[in-house]
Structure 1
Amino acid sequence: MLDIIYKRKSIRQFSPRTVTDEIIEKIIRAGMQAPSSGNSQPWEFVVIRNRNTLRKITEFHSYSQCLKMVNAAVVVCANLSREIFKGFWVQDCSACVQNMLLAVESIKGEDDLELGSVWLGIYPVAERVDGLRELLSLPEDVVPFAVLPVGYKGEKKNSTDNFKPERIHLEKW
């Protein structure tokens, strides 16, 4: 598991190969295994394969141009009606997204090719939240949190060691 954590990188270049529904389900299953406050599991998912819909997201999310290269993306949403402890859905969905990103890194696709993804933040940017809510016809109590494009890596990134011991404080600052 540590190898997967250390190896994971944000991928923004993808090959045109199709990611199967089976792979998308594995990734979502991993997300659903995340811890959540009060075991509320507030997440909901919208799988997008329609290329026109993926393109429309790039019109209101300037950092999402990579959606034009993939044939699948997963939108992670929070269903506020499931909220047990107010406001903790952000942490819950963050844990869910991280599980999904690690799953993407661990799954080998067709011909043992590597999959990639990147966390495209939606919440709390109002323009992005409103844009996705309208585009996907989300109910009022469902908040789009993040979009994860999923595809076969079209770029190679080397692992880096982000460990900084000077940021560790013992007992007090």
Structure 2
Amino acid sequence: MKEIFERRSIRKYKGKEISQDYIQKILRAAMYAPSAGNEQPWHFVVIKDRQKLDEIASFHPHGQMLKEAPLAIIPCADQSNLKYEGLFWIQDMSACIQNILLQSKALGLGTCWCGVYPREELMEGMAKLVHLPAHITPVAVIAVGYPAEEREVRERYNPDRIHNESW
């Protein structure tokens, strides 16, 4: 629960490299997310190359933190064989992204989830940069690194948002 309550978007990073062991733990957690019909539509592009990280920041208006981050993960959805006519893949992908954020926090890392889907210009830029096949949809780009900032933890629980039995 600590990771859930303390996770915040981190936009400043130390230059320290992230180990392959940590990357594998993060992606393993992502792949344990629930998915409709156990479809598991996810694929992940891992970016460590400084030139590519900077290029993402050049076309993603909210991706400037990638200029400092040592790592980016691009969660992508495979659209080629969806069981439910493409109705639930975005929920599946969102669950795996949340797992990435929480596992990263548990490892002492900071993250920032930047949306890509459904903005065509961002999807096209990402697909071109990492040579995605046509049936693969980039959903987000997640900056990952050792935090060089601390973000205030604020209470978010709001009982006014809870409706029992009806609105």
TM-score scaled by structure 1?
0.93
Q: Hey, what does 2:20 align to over in structure 1?
A: 21
Q: Which amino acid is the alignment partner of residue 57 of structure 1?
A: I
- Which consecutive residues of structure 1, in runs of 5 or more, have no partner in the other structure? 108-113
2:146 to 140, 148, 152: 152
Structure 1 residue identity aligned to 2:104: V
Distance 2:58 2:105 in 1: 28
1:158 positional shift? 2.1
TM-fit CA distance, 1:71: 1.7
Structure 1: distance between partners of 2:70 and 2:2:
27
Q: Secondary structure at the match of 1:140?
A: coil
Are the aligned partners of 1:41 and 1:82 in contact in 2 as well (CA < 8 Å)? no
Query: Which 4+ stretches in 1 moved above 4 angstroms?
Result: none
Counterpart code for 1:101:
L
Cα offsets for 1:130-156 (capped at 9, x unmatched): 000111110000000011111000101
Give the percent of matched residue pairs that are identical in Structure 1 and Structure 2. Answer: 42
Displacement of 1:82 in angstroms is 3.4
Deviations 1:74-116 (A, max 9, x none): 1100001232112211000000000110001111xxxxxx310
Q: Partners of 2:18 and 2:102 in 1: how far apart?
A: 16
- Partner residue, 2:35: 36
**Match of 2:156?**
162
Using the alignment, how far apart are the partners of 1:134 and 1:66 within structure 2? 21
RMSD between aligned alpha carbons?
0.8
Unmatched tracts of structure 2, length 5 or more: none
Partners of 1:59 and 1:15 in 2: how far apart? 20
